[in-house]
Amino acid sequence: MKNDQLRMKNNKIISIFISTFLWVTVSSSQSLNAQGEEGLQLQDFSYWANLCASQKEAKNYEEALEACDQAIALNPNEPQAWIDRGDIQRALNNYAEAAASYGQVIRLEPRHSEAWAKRCAANIQLANYEAAITDCETALQIDETWNQVTRAYALYHQGLALWGQAEREKALFSFDLAVQSNPDYSLAWAQRCLLLSQFDQTNDALNSCERALQVNGDWGNRTPAIAWTNRGKILAQLRQYDAALESYDQALAIDPKDATAWTEQGKVLLIIGQLGEALTSQEWALKIRPDYALALANQCATLNQLSQYEDALAACDQAIQEGDGRWGEEGAAYAWSHRADALTGLGRFQEALASANRAVALNPDYADPWSSRGATLWFMGRFEEALGATEQAIAINPNSSKGWFNYARILTTLGEYNEARAAYQRALLGDANVGNILTLAEIWVNLSGLDFRLQRYQEAITAAERAIGINPDLAAAWYNRGLSLMALNQYRDAVVTYNRAIAIDAENADFWAGKGIALRFLEQYPQALEALQTALELNPSHPQALVNQEFVMQKLQTPNGMEALPNSGVR
């Protein structure tokens, strides 16, 4: 009995052992099969090539690149894997790697037009325009194996490369051929629009942008935002600023990450004097592309208008030293010119002159650097040279309000008041008259000061009031108005006007002195003395305040304080 029980127990143990062994064996077999399948996948070119293509389609570019590299490691002689790898590298902005990948396709299949055309596109991003032109021409000459692209694609990129080489007529011809080959090529229509604007063919340019939007066809790797942005640029050139801003709003509604639309919007906002909004637009552009050269330069220009010269200089320096080289039509000269303005604002005139000279050397047909150079030379007391530089600015752009404004200031310094007045009038008729309200206010306030010198007091008051109408916080305009009111013996109004100036800038000794002199003529001697003493606290050597304080103190010492006032009290 015991033996039977023992035998049964042993059988159970053996059964459990066998069962366990079988389970382990089966599990191990399943594991080996799984490892085998995984191993087969690791060695399966088609698996990795298909994974690469699907991940590329899903825009999972890092994962797609890993899959492509696996596929190529298994079979480096398959052109499509290299094409996909090039496309992915372009999407990741790795343009040199993209060009190299397309080059591998060309090595394997020299008559592969798609590879030639795509390498052309990659070389454009690298600013290798000569190589890009050759690649696109080769693609068109071979005219085989286009696959994912077309002849229109090659013609379009040929146009971009020619444009990069400043061969604008040839570029326009290529764009024309591209849209003839594919009338639904919206991207080509949109870029054709911008190029036409550089030929001053603004109506044709706008029509091309409208065509791009109406067709709404092939946008390549872009969106309709590019057409709206280019349309905005043209409308800004036409000084249709409200319409331009509407176009930029449309672009940003489609693509809020369009750095170009943000910076161009900011540029228009700067022109119309909305400086806070302009700065915000540039900040958005730089959040998207921190090294965007044009956005940094536009930020510099805006900060200059806000008199934040240190920050402006830093932005211009970053644009020049660390920027991505994406400039506007004026090129890097735009940043150098505004750098000169920032340095002039900081009183660093030698450095400012060097920057202005650099801008002129880069783009001698750009008016603003000549004007900046003239302003800097004026501050340095080199008036004849300043006059020559400013004349050059006006010759390049007779519509430049900045040029005429600086010209007028230099002529005023040279005592040529009538010629200076005529120059201010030209400045008022120039480009500042449409949009740039801040510059317009500065012109009016300077004209009011000149009219005061010419004893044209009523005209001086009118000019000051025009400046105040544009910018009520322009203290100099209130001060100039007060001076002319004094000259017309309108002392009570003058006191009110000086109070407005003081409310804006209470640290200006001239404003307090003006108020004190006006109160003196109103025979309000205690109040006059208080204002004059404030002026002298701010500037102890203020000549008008000293003379008039002495007179007022004498009057306050007399029994009636009613003696006649000498004419020398107002200077």
Residue 326: name the closest of 356, 295, 293 by CA: 293
Read out DSSP for 173-201? HHHHHHHHH-TT-HHHHHHHHHHHHTTT-
pLDDT computed for residue 433 by the predictor: 75
Average pLDDT over residues 56-70: 96
The secondary structure of 331-372, three-state, reads CCHHHHHHHHHHHHHCCCHHHHHHHHHHHHHHCCCCHHHHHH
pLDDT computed for residue 13 by the predictor: 34
Least confident of 267-276, 441-450, 556-565: 556-565
pLDDT computed for residue 33 by the predictor: 44
CA angle 538, 500, 478 (to 5 degrees): 90
Split at pLDDT 50, 70, 90, the class of 559 is low
Is residue 369 within 8 Å of residue 340, measured between CB atoms? Answer: yes
CA 317 to chain centre: 14
User: What is the number of other CB atoms lying within 10 angstroms of the CB of residue 242?
Assistant: 10
Q: Is the dihedral of CA 172, 431, 271, 354 positive or negative?
A: positive
Split at pLDDT 50, 70, 90, the class of 23 is very low
Give the residue carrying structure tokens 């306050």. 556
Q: DSSP secondary-structure letter at 472? A: T
pLDDT computed for residue 397 by the predictor: 95
Split at pLDDT 50, 70, 90, the class of 6 is very low
Report pTM. Answer: 0.80
pLDDT digits (tens, 9 = 90+) for 95-106: 999 999 999 999
Read out DSSP for 103-172? HHHHHH-TT-HHHHHHHHHHHHHTT-HHHHHHHHHHHHHH----TT--HHHHHHHHHHHHHHTT-HHHHH
What are the structure tokens assigned to 193, written together? 């629009």
pLDDT digits (tens, 9 = 90+) for 207-240: 999 999 999 999 998 999 999 999 999 999 998 9
pLDDT computed for residue 34 by the predictor: 42
Is residue 543 within 8 Å of residue 571, measured between CB atoms? Answer: yes
pLDDT computed for residue 436 by the predictor: 64
Alpha helices of 58-112 — where are they, by DSSP H? Answer: 61-74, 79-91, 95-108
Q: Give the containing element (helix H, strand E) for 319.
A: helix 309-322
Give the C-alpha separation, 491 to 516, whole Å: 11
Q: What proportion of the chain, given as a percentage, has pLDDT over 90?
A: 86
Give the C-alpha separation, 428 to 80, whole Å: 62
Is residue 135 within 8 Å of residue 123, measured between CB atoms? Answer: yes
User: Is 30's pLDDT higher than 80?
Assistant: no
Least confident of 21-25, 170-174, 329-333, 423-427: 21-25
What are phi and psi for residue 391, nearest 5 degrees? -60, -35
Specify the fold of 506-571.
1.25.40
pLDDT computed for residue 527 by the predictor: 97
